């Protein structure tokens, strides 16, 4: 069988199999090949129907993708991977600090959900994410592009709370200052620490303290062709693609 750079190594597959408790039974197509197909799709940005023939049929790959999504296996695997890599780096397993930001993403076809972000002049969707201090994904929520960050943050906080995450302080830019920070503190107990950018042109570009980490995370996402444009019909699918990209990144760090 032809090997692709996105194929799982033995250690990566053992981690997935152990975390998701994938039982051993006779199958025509090993579940490892299903994961290889999903990673190939994320990296190359191809359509489900255009998966190479040396993988399982695309209908079977999509069946397992949908099944694991409905069972919230992607959330579980992402959490366990993030904890494993953090411990490997000598950090606490669970993050106490999060960095919050959004990314407007252009639409990839005329069937995908979209609207217009007048601020960034982008027609498409907007990804609202929280990452830890390493840039590893903690929570993601996708909206159409015209939704302002201050409107979406309350929904994102619900996602974070439902994950039973240990985050206490969230670093964000000026778009989250003022009343919204107070509402988040009262409603969810998270302290939003606003870090403003310096506009001093004489000193040139300087990365904003802590906030630059989430910008690097967006750059990581853009390395995967499935994420550099939005091709998905459903916002839930767009969220899953971000989670799978984050899983692929963390698997390369175990």
Whether residue 80 is predicted with pLDDT greater than 90 in this model: the reply is yes
Q: Are 114 and 232 in contact (CB under 8 A)?
A: no
Averaged over 72-86, what is the pLDDT?
Answer: 95
The answer to whether residue 20 sits within a structural domain is yes
Residues 60 and 104 in one domain: no
CB contact set of 111 (below 8 Å; sequence gap of 6+): 233
Residue 140 has pLDDT above 70, yes or no: yes
Mean pLDDT of 193-200: 70
Tokens of 28: 């025509």
- Same structural domain, 36 and 110: no
Could you read off the pLDDT of 146-172 as tens digits, one per residue?
888 878 888 899 999 888 788 999 998
The residue behind tokens 């069972």 is 71
Same structural domain, 177 and 100 = yes
Q: Tell me which residue of 158, 156, 169 sits closest to 97, measured CA to CA.
A: 169
> How many CB atoms neighbour CB 97 within 10 A?
16
- For the cut 50, the answer to whether the pLDDT of residue 21 exceeds it is yes
Shared domain check, 219 and 174: yes
Q: Is 249 inside any structural domain?
A: no
> Is residue 107 predicted with pLDDT exceeding 70?
yes
- Sign of the CA dihedral running 59, 124, 113, 101: positive
Mean confidence (pLDDT) of the chain: 87
Same-domain check for residues 64 and 125: no
Residue 167 shares a structural domain with residue 207 = yes
Claim to verify: residue 98 and residue 217 sit in the same structural domain? yes
Q: At residue 153, what are phi and psi to the nearest 5 degrees? A: -65, -35
Range of the domain at 63: 10-70
Secondary structure class of 48 (helix, strand, coil): helix
Position 247 in a domain: no
DSSP 142: E
The reported pLDDT for the residue numbered 198 is 59
Of 31-40, 48-57, 111-120, 222-231, the one with minimum mean pLDDT is 111-120
Same domain assignment for residues 197 and 113? yes
Q: How confident is the model at residue 180 (pLDDT cuts 50, 70, 90)?
A: confident
pTM of the predicted protein model:
0.89
CATH of the domain at 206: 3.30.420.10
Which of 55, 70, 85 terminates a domain? The answer is 70
Same domain, residue pair 191 and 119: yes
Residue 2 placed within a domain: no
Please say if the pLDDT value at position 227 is more than 50: yes
Position 154 in a domain: yes
Cα 102–Cα 106–Cα 109 angle in degrees, nearest 5: 140
On whether residue 78 sits in a domain, the answer given is no
Torsion sign over Cα 116, 120, 121, 127: negative
Q: Do residues 210 and 99 make contact, with C-beta atoms less than 8 angstroms apart? A: yes
Q: Which residue has the tokens 């982008």?
A: 122
Look at residue 205 in the predicted model and tell me its pLDDT: 42
Q: Are residues 119 and 208 in the same domain?
A: yes
Mean pLDDT of 52-69: 94
Q: Give the pLDDT confidence of 109-130 residue by residue, as tens digits.
A: 777 777 777 777 888 889 999 9
DSSP for 197-249, written as a single string: PP--GGG---PPTTTHHHHHHHHHHHTSHHHHSB--SSHHHHHHHHHHHHHHH
**Same domain as 225, residue 105:** yes
* Number of domains observed in the structure of the chain: 2
Q: Is residue 3 situated within a structural domain?
A: no
Indicate whether 18 belongs to any domain: yes
């Amino acid at each position: 069988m032809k090997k692709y750079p996105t194929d799982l190594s033995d250690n990566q597959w053992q981690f997935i199999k152990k975390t998701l408790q994938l039982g051993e039974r006779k199958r025509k197509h090993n579940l490892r090949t299903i994961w290889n197909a999903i990673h190939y799709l994320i990296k190359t940005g191809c359509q489900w129907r255009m998966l190479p023939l040396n993988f399982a049929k695309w209908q079977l790959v999509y069946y397992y993708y949908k099944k694991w999504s409905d069972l919230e296996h992607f959330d579980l695997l992402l959490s366990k991977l993030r904890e494993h890599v953090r411990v490997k780096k000598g950090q606490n397993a669970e993050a106490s600090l999060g960095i919050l930001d959004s990314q407007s993403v252009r639409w990839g076809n005329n069937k995908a959900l979209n609207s217009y972000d007048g601020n960034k002049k982008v027609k498409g969707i907007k990804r609202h994410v929280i990452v830890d201090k390493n840039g590893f994904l903690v929570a993601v929520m996708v909206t159409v592009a015209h939704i302002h960050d201050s409107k979406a943050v309350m929904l994102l906080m619900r996602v974070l709370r439902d994950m039973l995450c240990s985050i206490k302080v969230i670093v964000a830019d000026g778009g989250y200052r003022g009343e919204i920070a107070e509402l988040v503190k009262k409603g969810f107990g998270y302290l939003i620490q606003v870090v403003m950018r310096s506009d001093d042109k004489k000193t040139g570009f300087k990365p904003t303290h802590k906030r630059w980490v989430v910008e690097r995370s967006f750059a990581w996402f853009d390395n995967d062709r499935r994420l550099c444009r939005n091709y998905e019909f459903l916002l839930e699918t767009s969220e899953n693609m971000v989670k799978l990209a984050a899983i692929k990144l963390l698997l390369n760090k175990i």
